[in-house]
Structure 1
Amino acid sequence: MIDVIPVASPHLDEDDITAAVRVLRSGALVQGREVAAFEDEFSDLVDGRHCIAVNSGTTALWLPLLGLGIGPGDEVIIPAFTFAATAAAVRLTGATPVFADIDPVSFCLDPTAAAEAVTSRTAAIIPVHLFGHPADLGALLTLARRHGIALIEDAAQAHAATLHARPVGTFGTAAAFSFYPTKNMQSVEGGMITTADPGLARTLRLLRNVGMETRYCHEIVGTNGRLNDVFAAIGRTQLRKLPARTAARRAHAAHLDAALAGVAGISPPTTGIGAGHVYHQYTIRVDDGRDAFAQALLEDRVGCSVHYPVPLHRSPAYRTAAHLPHTDTAAAQVLSLPVHPGLARADLDRIVTTVLRHARREQLAA
């Protein structure tokens, strides 16, 4: 039987393992030199911004909200077409997530819909750079400044993505990255907060370390959001490989784009003007019968996945009566195909052949 082509392929190589073992043998395991070095090196990716390493992408979203004093009575505008962590971070502060619709091309928060959601209680906007495509940060920053509210970038899926040659993570009041194993770079688990505000950076360092800068001097109420040094060491080796792996993702996406262009019933992803997409996912639209199409691919051992079949405004934990037609349509049509750096040319050819075969079957059936 032929091997399954996985839709994602977390990759730890000998460099990562050697780095982890080195730290384990050192005995210095928590909030030490490796974390400091990782923060310093990641800063180069975000134009020298302050970087604060934490234990997850969710924490990386949650702590900036806390650091800005956002809480009960406040509203935060977010898309419903995203992973639940975006909404969970808001709810964990006591604030209310307010869902706005997406742009149907980029799948990111639509600035017009976000503007319509602003009220006197709005404290922040969190655009998500979904699937590795940057949100329309120019329009969203203008909106945030007009209303005097914070903009926090959810860059969990967008390491090294750019907008008009400027890296994501450098536009907002703060930004959050994730290093979960399926992300474009990983540290087994972890996250990074970036900000240009030195005062906020200090507050975030206190919040992640139970309110301490000096041992046993608790300046504020904080949490244990620390990243350990083993994971930081892995993050450092992964960061060095990020440019080559990003180039591979883009090359694989270009191959798929060329092969799938003009195929009836299928729409490859579109990259906006000035956007530097990093293809955390290669997400197509299937006009009709997405679930059956996905099942057919899986039966032919081509991995695929739906992100996200239940948008958050329809999820039990966050359900609202929000009318989000573009979000609902995307949830019914999107399908992510393998694009990760571990793919060989033969894998790409097999993905294309399988997708085209089932697309043609759907056309004949119609």
Structure 2
Amino acid sequence: MAASDMTAAAYRDALRELGIGAGDEVIVPSFGPGAPADGVRLAGAEPVFADIDPRTFCLDPVSVSASVTSRTAAVLPVNVFGHPAPLDRLSELAERYGLALVEEARSVEDAGQVARRRAYARFLDSALKGVVVPYTEPGAHHLYVQYAVRIPGNGRPDRDAFARALRARGVRAEVSVPVPVHRMPAHRSGVLLPETERVAADTLSLPVHSGLTQRELTHVADACNALGGLL
């Protein structure tokens, strides 16, 4: 799953320090961890879910802008799978509407591990056929905490079949975001988030952890390519 280094309690405390609480709305992503939305509720405010950019999987500033109301007090962007949120554009938007921008606190990453993950990602970018490899916004520094590909086809059924076929070939791939946050019982909402729904249905995270050998990484690529992207 898309991980966040901030807990719900940390988000709650950050919002309370800004005086945000009952009667306020805070815009959060649905694709990723539940901590931002949970923290908003703990602060007494109401989470409002905005859609994502289908390339970076991060909050889409256009959707964020469309979600602003007279009650909106803040935006909580999240870095997804190691791709940074578009803070420059969101900062401009926050200034325009007079909103707080609560940036995610990040832990210090081991430079060697990050360099190795990036090297693995570059290999997979060039080796994989039949799946959509991760996109990196120009100028962004992707950490590749997860290497999430998109499986072409009919969404969840084809993605799940692809994952099962990889496991049969000895490759452990993980469903990136099993359930978007706005579909979870604690936050169930009727909001329409088409890109979030599509990305949640067809993404799969392939292993790129620093313990992999080049032989194992090549096997990951070969196993994916043998499936041709579609089953």
Contact 1:81 1:102 in 2 (8 A): yes
The one of 88, 92, 97 equivalent to 2:42 is: 92
Secondary structure class of the residue paired with 1:267: coil
Partner of 2:103: 153
Unaligned stretches of 5+ residues in structure 1: 1-6, 8-54, 155-175, 179-238
Distance (whole Å) between structure 1 residues aligned to residue 41 and residue 34 of structure 2: 11
Partner of 1:268: 133
Distance (whole Å) between structure 1 residues aligned to residue 167 and residue 34 of structure 2: 25
Q: What letter is aligned with 2:106? A: F
Distance (whole Å) between structure 2 residues aligned to residue 76 and residue 135 of structure 1: 16
Contact 2:9 2:42 in 1 (8 A): no
Contact 1:60 1:177 in 2 (8 A): no
Partner of 1:348: 217
Following superposition, the deviation at residue 276 of structure 1 comes to: 0.7
Q: Does 1:279 align with 2:144?
A: yes
Superposed CA RMSD: 1.7
Distance (whole Å) between structure 2 residues aligned to residue 346 and residue 287 of structure 1: 26
Map 1:95-106; keep pairs closer than 5 Å.
95-106=45-56
Q: What letter is aligned with 2:189? A: T
Number of equivalent positions:
224
Map 1:52-131; keep pairs closer than 5 Å.
57-131=7-81
Secondary structure class of the residue paired with 1:119: coil
Following superposition, the deviation at residue 151 of structure 1 comes to: 0.5
Deviations 1:269-321 (A, max 9, x none): 01111111000110000012000000111122211111212111111110111
Contact 1:281 1:339 in 2 (8 A): yes
Unaligned stretches of 5+ residues in structure 2: none
Partner of 1:329: 198
**Segments of 4+ moved more than 2 angstroms:** 55-62
Q: Does 1:359 align with 2:224?
A: no
Partner of 1:158: none
Q: What letter is aligned with 2:172? A: G
Contact 1:129 1:153 in 2 (8 A): no
The one of 256, 261, 279 equivalent to 2:124 is: 256
Distance (whole Å) between structure 2 residues aligned to residue 298 and residue 133 of structure 1: 26
Q: What letter is aligned with 1:335? A: L
Following superposition, the deviation at residue 61 of structure 1 comes to: 2.2
Q: What letter is aligned with 1:249? A: R
Distance (whole Å) between structure 1 residues aligned to residue 68 and residue 6 of structure 2: 29
Give me the TM-score of the superposition, normalised by structure 2: 0.92
Which of structures 1 and 2 has the bigger CA Rg? Answer: 1
Distance (whole Å) between structure 2 residues aligned to residue 150 and residue 132 of structure 1: 23
Distance (whole Å) between structure 2 residues aligned to residue 59 and residue 177 of structure 1: 15
